[in-house]
Every structure is written in structure tokens, then in C-alpha cells.
Amino acid sequence: MSKSDSQSLSVRAIIAFYREFERVMRDGDISLAQYRTMLYLKGGAKRAGAIAAAGAVKKPTVSAMLNNLRDKGWITDEADPVDGRAIAVALTPAGLARIEALEKSLSDHLAEIVPEPDLSALRGALASAYIDLGASQDERLKDIEKQFLG
């Protein structure tokens, strides 16, 4: 297999897994966008503007999603840790539990569609890539915040 073929297939695989996860979540009580937002909040309380910038969406879209997550008891409002006059959104223990349950469900689904030993290799490669992405996340988010927040 050529390098070009391998690159194309790896990108297609990511999209295929995304579609699989989307399908699993379609009938559930949480969307991928909500999951991504809650995962972002695992790092600590964030203001709505930062959440919008990180998700590359407009504030009204984020506001509606945050209201839905509040109604479910998965997030709560608190004083911004940097500017106590502002409001930040924080993950609740129930929200953290929902993330963990969803991740287990998606991990179980992955095990159903990817056979061993490919599954172990895939999990290892994805975990390593996620750690690498996390290491550069702050820089990438700064660029996005500049674009969306000015």
C-alpha cells in the first residue's frame, strides 16, 4: 500500500468511526456536540465565549446547548475562577458520570466492529494521538479564540 493510500484510508477510517459513534448516540440522551463540550469542561470551568470558540460555533448555539445540559443536571454555573464577576460553566458529578458511561458505551461498540489484535493497536495509537493533540491544544485554541472572539 502506498503512503498516499495509507493516508487517505486513515482519514476515511476516522470519518467512518465518527459516523459509527454518531449512529450509536442518535437514540441516546447526549449528542456528540454535548459530549465534546462536557469533555472540554473536564479541564475546569469555562465561560460561554470560550466554549463557543473552542467548538467553532456562535454563542447563541452554545447558549441553547448549555441550557439543555443545565436542565439535565450535567453542568452548573459558578463564578469565573479568573474574573469572579463573570459566570463560568462547570461540569457536575452527574455530568462526569455521563461522560464515563458514554465513553464505555462507545468503547464497547468499537470492540464490536474492530477485531483483535487491530483493536488493541488502534486504541494504543489513538490514545497516543490524543495525548499529542492535548499537548498542543492551548495553542490551537488561542488561534480559534482570536478568530471567533477577536
In a domain, 1, yes or no: no
Answer yes or no: is pLDDT of 145 > 60: no
In a domain, 103, yes or no: yes
d(CA 135, CA 93): 25
In a domain, 23, yes or no: no
Range of the domain at 46: 29-149
In a domain, 102, yes or no: yes
Answer yes or no: is pLDDT of 7 > 70: yes
Provide the CATH number for the domain around residue 45: 1.10.10.10
Which parts of the chain fold into alpha helices (H)? 3-25, 32-41, 48-55, 59-71, 93-113, 118-149
Cell numbers standing for residue 36: 465534546
d(CA 46, CA 147): 18
In a domain, 18, yes or no: no
Number of separate domains in the chain: 1
In a domain, 119, yes or no: yes
Q: Is the dihedral of CA 19, 20, 26, 30 positive or negative?
A: negative
Residue pLDDT, tens place only, 11-57: 999 999 999 999 999 988 999 989 999 999 998 999 988 888 888 78
In a domain, 11, yes or no: no
Q: Which is more confident, 142 or 79?
A: 79
Q: Rounded to 5 degrees, what angle do the CA atoms 149, 40, 131 make?
A: 110
Which helix or strand (DSSP H or E) is residue 75 part of? strand 75-79
For residue 28, report the phi and psi dihedrals to the nearest 5 degrees.
-90, -170
In a domain, 138, yes or no: yes
Mean pLDDT for 109-118 is 94
